[in-house]
Each structure stands twice: as C-alpha cells, then as structure tokens.
C-alpha cells in the first residue's frame, strides 16, 4: 500500500539526512562560491516541503528560510517563454540533454540554438523571449509569472542580482555567442541582466514546492486554484525537466529518483511528480554536478517512501 503523503513526516526525513554524518562536515559536498552571497550560505541548512493537488502542504523545520532560487527558476522561465510565444520558443531552443556542464560554452551545431532550456544558454534565451519590449518589462513579466506559480508575490535580492550580472562572465560569453549566431535578438547585456534578476528571486522550500506542484498539476496552482499555464505547456516543461533538469547527471537522477526535477547552485531542488505532488528540498553543499548532496538523498527517500518513481510498476 502506498503511504499517505498527507501524513508523511518530513521532520523525520530531515533528521535522517542530518544524522547521516556526512556532507560538508566530512568533505562531501561543497557550497557554491560563484558569488559572495552563495559562498556565505549556511551549509547546515536543510529544509523539505511537499504540496499535494488538493493544496495540502507538508513542511519540515526551516521550510520558510529564504534563499535565491538560482537555476531552479529555469523551468518557470521556459514555461513563460512557451506561453508568451504560443509555443514558438521550441523553435529557438533545443530540448536534448548535453552531457556537459550547465554553463558550457556550447550551442547546437548548424542551428546556433541552445541545447536545452535547463542549461544557462537556454535560460538566457528563454528569459529573453518572455513578453516585454525592454528589460524592465521583461523583469516585470517574469516577476508576475513567478508570483502566479508561487501563489504569492516574490521579492528579489538586489545584491545577488547585481553580482550575478557583474560576475557572470560565462553568461555574457554565451549571450554574445547567441547574438553572433542570430539566435538571440535582444542585447547580450540586457539578456544577462534579466536572467540574473530572475535567478535572484527569493523563495523558500515551501514556496518552491508550490511552484513545482503547479507544474505537476498541469499548470494549475493547487493553492490558489488559478490556471497559470496551459496543460500542454506544463507537460512540455516537466518532460524537459526529466531529461535535462539535473544536467549531465539527469540520466542517473531519473534512474535513482524517477521524478522530474531541477537543481540549482543555491542547493535547492524543485520536483514535479505529475498528478501526484510538487516538492522542494534545499541544502547548500553540492556534488560535482552542482546538485545538493542532501537534496538528492531526500529526493530518493521521497521517491521510495511515497512510490513516486515515474517508471515503477504500481
């Protein structure tokens, strides 16, 4: 019998993770140091949340601790780009996994497209495709869209946004490369600025779980009842999360966890189990693929305990 997720004890799971005796204290996992705010993250932070289709929310200790969403914003930028271009974004960005790092200076051979929307090149492009005639309008549209996914207004850490823009040399290189290929049609610096601000959006584990649940529920926010994106858009986004969301570890992730997900350098992971639930885990120490060490373990436990693996016989 499948356990009832309404009664699942996330604090007990959190304790199991913290009692494992590993992570940063014993050299397993490193906190990202690409900008000062990420380098200063508390390696002991560990929070888990899940949201069910009826809006029921389960949270652990620290599930309301705020952090910048970073790359976990990418599925939602992709969704907004699909919505605002009536699906034409699929002509501008690929959907195949790369087997390379998230910030690899690489575009599709022959097309100049980013390989998929879950790597930095793809997210820079999808952010540029969101409706707006300039950076201010695109910033406002992204803020509005992310708020709809979250079911509440979200703020931006301006210092994080500034440093993401200032120190994002590889993102600037990717944007200029796409401009040279004719793939990106806005200014390179403008594209990086919009993406940097999106990554600096502040969420917590509970909010990110609501956002994942909105995708898992076919584009309807289970808290507000509002349709945020059409069902087809949600399906397309979750499909690409399954194949590309954990970068060059996506195949191993889907074998072991079996839940479409997106990782981030802040240590957050957002999960969307279609028709079942949305979930989020945050713990800053990362593995070599840039995925939270504890987050991976928590996701494996959720998958096993709640029978969430997409390819398991039920």
- 8 marked ligand binding residue: no
Does 164 appear as a known binding residue?
yes
User: Is 229 marked as binding a ligand?
Assistant: no
Please tell me whether 265 is known to bind a ligand: yes
Residue 221 counted as an annotated binding residue: no
3-state helix/strand/coil string of the chain: CCCCHHHCCHHHHHHHHHCCCCHHHHCCCECCCCCHHHHCCCCCCCEEEEECCCCCEEECCCCCCCEECHHHHHHHHHHHHHHHCCCHHHHCCCCCCCCCCCCCCCCCCCCCCCCCCCCHHHHHHHHHHCCCCCHHHHHHHHHHHHHHHHCCCCCECHHHHHHHHHHCHHHHHHHHHHHHHCCCCCCHHHHHHHHHHHHCEEECHHHHHHHHHHHHCCCECCCCCCECCCHHHHHHHHHHHHHHCCHHHHHHHHHHCCCCEEECCCCEEEEEECCCEEEEEECCCECCCCCEHHHHHHHHHHHHHCCCCCCCCC
Binding residues: 71, 120, 164, 171, 195, 247, 265
Binding residues for substrate: 71, 120, 164, 171, 195, 247, 265
């Amino acid at each position: 019998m499948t356990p009832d997720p309404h009664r699942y004890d996330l604090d007990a799971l959190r304790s199991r993770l913290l009692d494992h005796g590993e992570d940063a204290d014993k050299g397993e996992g490193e906190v990202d140091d690409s900008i000062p705010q990420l380098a200063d993250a508390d390696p002991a932070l560990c929070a888990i949340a899940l949201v069910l289709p009826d809006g029921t929310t389960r949270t652990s200790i620290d599930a309301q601790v705020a952090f910048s969403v970073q790359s976990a914003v990418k599925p939602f930028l992709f969704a907004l780009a699909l919505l605002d271009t009536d699906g034409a974004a699929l002509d501008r960005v690929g959907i195949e996994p790369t087997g390379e790092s998230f910030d690899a200076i690489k575009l599709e051979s022959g097309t100049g497209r980013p390989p998929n929307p879950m790597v930095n090149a793809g997210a820079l492009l999808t952010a540029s495709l969101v409706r707006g005639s300039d950076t201010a309008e695109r910033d406002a549209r992204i803020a509005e869209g992310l708020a709809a996914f979250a079911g509440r207004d979200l703020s931006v850490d301006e210092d994080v946004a500034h440093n993401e823009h200032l120190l994002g040399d590889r993102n600037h290189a990717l944007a200029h490369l796409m401009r040279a290929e004719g793939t990106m049609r806005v200014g390179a610096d403008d594209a990086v600025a919009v993406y940097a601000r999106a990554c600096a959006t502040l969420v917590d584990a509970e909010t990110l779980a609501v956002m994942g649940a909105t995708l898992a529920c076919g584009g309807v926010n289970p808290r507000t009842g509002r349709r945020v994106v059409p069902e087809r858009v949600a399906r397309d986004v979750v499909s690409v999360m399954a194949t590309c969301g954990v970068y060059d570890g996506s195949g191993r992730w889907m074998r072991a966890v079996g839940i479409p997900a997106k990782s981030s350098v802040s240590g957050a992971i957002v999960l969307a189990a279609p028709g079942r639930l949305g979930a989020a885990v945050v713990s800053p120490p990362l593995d070599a693929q840039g995925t939270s060490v504890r987050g991976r373990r928590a996701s494996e436990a959720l998958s096993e305990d709640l029978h969430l693996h997409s390819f398991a016989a039920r």
